[in-house]
Amino acid sequence: MYLNFMHEAQSFQSQKHLGAGGGKRKVSTILLLGPAFVAAIAYVDPGNVAANLTAGAEYGYLLVWVLVAANLIAVLVQYLSSKLGLVSGQSLPGLLGSKLGTKTRLAYWLQAEAVAVATDLAEVIGGAIALKILFDLPLLLGGLIVGVVSLVLLSIQSTRGQRPFETVIMTLLGIIAVGFLAGLFVGDVDWGQAAGGIVPGLDGTNSIVLAASMLGATVMPHAIYLHSALSVDRHGKRPRSSIPQLLKASRWDVVLSLIIAGSVNIAMLLVAAASLRGQVGTDTIEGAHAVVSANLGEVVGLLFGIGLLASGLASSAVGSYAGAAIMQGLLRVDIPIVWQRAVTMIPAFIVLGIGADPTWSLVISQVVLSLGIPFAMVPLVKLTSNRSVMGEYANGRIVSVLAIAASGLIIILNVVLLVLLALGIE
């Protein structure tokens, strides 16, 4: 499989740097960073843009607390996923595929594939919107371009290895950060109200839908599956004695990458709350871009469009990586990336082709992702707490309690969301 194409070479490099004879030589921690920055792209994809701009435009600073809580949960979750891959030498989908029966495994794959479809829906549509903003291209054509470019980005990983792929994705993450943080420097953010938004609060069913959407866009299930695979593919078969250093590097990797991603998400909401609230036409990303350009200047508007495009391209490639890891682990088959990519992209093309509201489609896709989070988180917590899988690196009591509490919070929010939507309560 293309994800493991360079696995043997990566294993050699890991042993070369970390010491094949038991880890006597250690490489600098900074050289071990990278996998979390790739996974972090999932936290700043176009679905985040739609959810965060909508939340800020409709509710001001009310839902800042959702992003803060989601980012704290993400730090814990992504580290556990990375730790699972580093210690067990297998990805989360691979471990699940080896432990589940055939029927259960297929059912599990179906829900995971629904997550992959929802992910691609957000990424392709978001990239298409960016190309329309920047070059006035038709949405369907823009979606096709995003799909092709994502395959080109993936070819870097399969032909040149993990490190060059990480470098490209980290560069795109930097572009995304600049694109969406720029508005903070010229916008009139009320920092007092922004601080007040850290206190949890909701305002009706729509705010709950948006909260679930923001949560699904931040703690993304495909990123949970993905990070364990990234760690395995990057570090390969390493000496057991190297695990402590790899875990330390992983902690830094996760914290630094999610500080960037979290800052970008909060910046989106703050800019929307300061510049878009009460403005006509901000219920779409294109409309929001027009208002941002009018209120904050053409340069900020251009950076916004470039950031959105970088987000769509990078997240599309990373999402395909995750989809392939899920498919291989749960179905135990290697499917050419073009076919795997086609399956998850078709719904996005349908949405673009029939003229559905692309911004609201993005928000709904994030709700679907939120519903898929427990299916990734619960097994992750269980496996990383299992000594037969993790040995001495199994979760301690405090980490287990925090992980269970985070999973419980997400499940409760999803149940409340479904009940309110079913009852039609406003």
User: What structural domains does the chain harbor?
Assistant: 52-423 (1.20.1740.10)
**What pLDDT is stored for residue 8 in this prediction?**
36
Looking at the chain, the number of H-run helices and the number of E-run strands are 18, 0
Q: Does residue 282 surpass a pLDDT of 80? A: no
Q: Of 141-150, 235-244, 319-328, 376-385, which gets the smallest average pLDDT?
A: 235-244
**DSSP E strand stretches across 69-110:** none
**What pLDDT is stored for residue 217 in this prediction?**
66
**What pLDDT is stored for residue 142 in this prediction?**
93
Q: Cβ–Cβ contacts within 10 Å for residue 1, how many? A: 16
Write down the mean pLDDT value for the chain: 85
Q: Which of 22-26, 230-234, 250-254, 357-361 has the highest mean pLDDT?
A: 250-254
Q: Does residue 160 surpass a pLDDT of 90? A: no
For the segment 216-240, the average pLDDT, to the nearest whole number, is: 83
Is-contact 172 313, C-beta < 8 A?
yes
Length of the chain: 426
Q: Does residue 227 surpass a pLDDT of 80? A: yes
d(CA 416, CA 426): 13
Supply φ then ψ for residue 417, to 5 degrees.
-60, -50
Q: Does residue 16 surpass a pLDDT of 80? A: no
Q: Does residue 171 surpass a pLDDT of 90? A: yes
pLDDT band at 26 (very low <50, low <70, confident <90, very high): low
Instruction: Return the percentage of the chain with pLDDT > 90, whole number.
Output: 46
Task: Please choose, from the candidates 390, 403, 399, 398, the residue with its C-alpha nearest in 3D space to the C-alpha of residue 83.
Answer: 390
Supply φ then ψ for residue 235, to 5 degrees.
-100, -15
DSSP state of 333: -
Q: Which of 124-138, 208-222, 272-286 has the highest mean pLDDT?
A: 124-138
* Residue pLDDT, tens place only, 284-297: 888 888 888 988 99
C-alpha torsion angle, residues 338, 343, 348, 354 (rounded to 10): 120
* Residue pLDDT, tens place only, 342-365: 777 788 888 888 888 887 787 777
**What pLDDT is stored for residue 15 in this prediction?**
42
Given the structure tokens 């399956």, which residue do they identify? Answer: 343
Q: Residue 298 contacts by C-beta under 8 Å, 6 or more apart in sequence? A: none
Given the structure tokens 């909060």, which residue do they identify? Answer: 266
DSSP state of 29: G
Q: Does residue 275 surpass a pLDDT of 70? A: yes
**What pLDDT is stored for residue 96 in this prediction?**
94
Q: Cβ–Cβ contacts within 10 Å for residue 265, how many? A: 28
pLDDT band at 74 (very low <50, low <70, confident <90, very high): very high
Q: Cβ–Cβ contacts within 10 Å for residue 111, how many? A: 13
Q: Residue 234 contacts by C-beta under 8 Å, 6 or more apart in sequence? A: 10, 34, 35, 162, 166
d(CA 19, CA 3): 24
* Residue pLDDT, tens place only, 388-408: 999 999 999 999 999 999 888
d(CA 218, CA 135): 28
pLDDT band at 105 (very low <50, low <70, confident <90, very high): very high
Q: Residue 395 contacts by C-beta under 8 Å, 6 or more apart in sequence? A: 80, 381, 384, 385, 403
For the segment 256-284, the average pLDDT, to the nearest whole number, is: 89
d(CA 386, CA 88): 11
**What pLDDT is stored for residue 10 in this prediction?**
42
**What pLDDT is stored for residue 263 in this prediction?**
94
d(CA 419, CA 422): 5
d(CA 232, CA 236): 5
Give the predicted TM-score (pTM) of the model.
Answer: 0.86
d(CA 314, CA 123): 9
Structure tokens at 136: 């006035």
CB-count burial class (<10 Å; 0-12, 13-18, 19+) for 321: buried
Rounded to the nearest 5 degrees, what angle is found at the Cα of 384, between the Cα atoms of 8 and 401?
Answer: 155
**What pLDDT is stored for residue 5 in this prediction?**
34
**What pLDDT is stored for residue 234 in this prediction?**
86
Q: Does residue 382 surpass a pLDDT of 60? A: yes
pLDDT band at 424 (very low <50, low <70, confident <90, very high): low
* Residue pLDDT, tens place only, 82-103: 999 999 999 999 999 999 898 9
Task: Please choose, from the candidates 47, 91, 84, the residue with its C-alpha nearest in 3D space to the C-alpha of residue 370.
Answer: 47
Task: Please choose, from the candidates 30, 56, 352, the residue with its C-alpha nearest in 3D space to the C-alpha of residue 163.
Answer: 30
**What pLDDT is stored for residue 367 in this prediction?**
76
